[in-house]
Homo-oligomer: A and B are copies of this chain.
Amino acid sequence: MVDNIIIIEDQQLVRDSLACLLNGTQKFAVTSAVGTVAEAQALLARPHDISLILCDYNLKQETAIKLLQEQRFAKDIPIVVLTSVFNAVKIQPCLSAGARGFLFKESSIEEFVKGIETVLAGGTYFSLPETDSIHLESHFASTDPDIRLTNSELETLRWVATGMSNKQIARTLGKSSETIKTHITKIFQKLKCSNRTQAVSKAVQLNLIDQLD
């Protein structure tokens, strides 16, 4: 009997491809592949025999952290987070939230399978690029655990990312430009930076705002 896995990944093609790959190994069975955390939770709410959840870090409007936080208090199905690029800023919150594994899309099939097998066997698996592993501790040290922007701040930040001036943002949101300034000042403090370019850059990294498109 093979273990059942579900995949959460927003890009359909990648999602189905990964399912194909995993099913092809004969070691696991991907029973479902969905695009959002909500869909996954709907599946988990019903009776099932899922042994592991493979979740992409960057989902459309959310991150794997959402799943981790909500799942932590439910059944203890191990969650493995999949991400495109190595980024300590992203990893740290996943660790705190209880991720059992961390895998990269850059990795080989062998490592991928090995990671999943290890977690299924009750262990943890964090694949790390060799080049960075040495400096990992310092990476984590410089990482702030949880950056919580309020709704207003997030809304403001999204407009800042479009390149609008405070005055323009104020007009579109129907608020005083002094209010916008206050929000931005707060954002700088939380993101530990001192100008809008840095703020947008950090926000993209942290997945606080959508892609720049």
Tell me how many chains of this kind the complex includes: 2
Of A12-20, A68-76, A93-101, A170-178, the one contacting chain B is A12-20
Distance of A203 from chain B, by nearest CB (Å)? 9
CA distance A211 to B90 in the complex (A): 14
CA distance A196 to B211 in the complex (A): 17
CA distance A84 to B60 in the complex (A): 12
For A61, the chain B residues whose CB sits under 8 A away are none
Tell me the chain A residues, 159-208 only, with Cβ under 8 Å from chain B. 160-163, 165, 193-198, 200-201, 204-205
CA distance A53 to B195 in the complex (A): 43
Decide if A163 touches B211 in the complex (CB within 8 Å): no
Cβ-defined partner of A17 (8 Å) among B18, B193, B201:
B18
A108 within 8 A of B: yes
Decide if A197 touches B161 in the complex (CB within 8 Å): yes
A17-B21, A200-B201, A212-B204 as given contacts; A11 in contact with B84, CB under 8 Å: yes
A145 within 8 A of B: no
For A18, the chain B residues whose CB sits under 8 A away are 13, 17
CA distance A160 to B17 in the complex (A): 37
Residue interface mask A1-42, B partner, CB < 8 A = 1: 000000000111110111011001000000000000000000
Decide if A16 touches B213 in the complex (CB within 8 Å): no
CA distance A24 to B194 in the complex (A): 51
Distance of A77 from chain B, by nearest CB (Å)? 22
A112 within 8 A of B: yes
CA distance A56 to B16 in the complex (A): 17
A-B contact pairs, 18 of them (CB 8 A): A13-B18, A13-B103, A13-B105, A16-B109, A17-B18, A17-B21, A20-B21, A85-B211, A85-B213, A163-B193, A163-B194, A163-B195, A163-B197, A165-B195, A196-B197, A201-B212, A204-B212, A205-B212
